[in-house]
């Protein structure tokens, strides 16, 4: 588990560095990344559109492309059960759907008095509400 998480953390750090470097090279000086992409993708730069942009970005990272990408870039999403990283199959779904003991039970981790638990973080409908830009199908889920 640690090894997979370390690989993923390294991948996301490298990806973030690449994205930030690319964005910085393209956008005008004095324009934030959020302002730049909100205008580029959603035309009007408003608080509501910035919220929509962040929702689209996070949901795409989680479930992969759920809209037709205009640039042809395939984003598989971290919840893709058929994920690959450097030629190695990676399935992170069990960490999110409650199949694995993968989260702390409280604020202080202690293997004896406060052991990790399994927690279904997809109990609000999983990918379906995310595809509709909603966090979950209800307000009481862990999702």
pLDDT tens per residue, range 6-41: 444 555 555 555 555 555 568 899 999 999 999 998
Q: How much is the pLDDT for 123?
A: 94
- Rounded to whole angstroms, the Cα distance separating 16 from 12 reads 6
Q: How much is the pLDDT for 2?
A: 44
- Rounded to whole angstroms, the Cα distance separating 116 from 43 reads 45
- Model pTM greater than 0.85? no
């Amino acid at each position: 588990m640690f090894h997979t998480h370390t690989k993923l953390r390294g991948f996301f750090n490298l990806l973030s560095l690449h994205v930030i470097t690319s964005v910085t090279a393209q956008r005008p000086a004095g324009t934030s990344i959020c302002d730049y992409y909100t205008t580029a993708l959603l035309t009007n730069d408003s608080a509501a559109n910035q919220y929509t942009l962040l929702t689209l970005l996070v949901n795409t990272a989680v479930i992969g492309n759920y809209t037709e990408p205009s640039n042809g870039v395939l984003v598989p999403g971290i919840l893709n059960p058929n994920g690959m990283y450097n030629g190695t199959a990676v399935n992170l779904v069990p960490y999110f759907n409650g199949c694995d003991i993968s989260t702390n039970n409280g604020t202080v981790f202690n293997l004896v008095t406060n052991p990790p638990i399994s927690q279904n973080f997809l109990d609000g409908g999983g990918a379906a509400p995310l595809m509709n830009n909603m966090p979950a199908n209800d307000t009481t889920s862990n999702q």
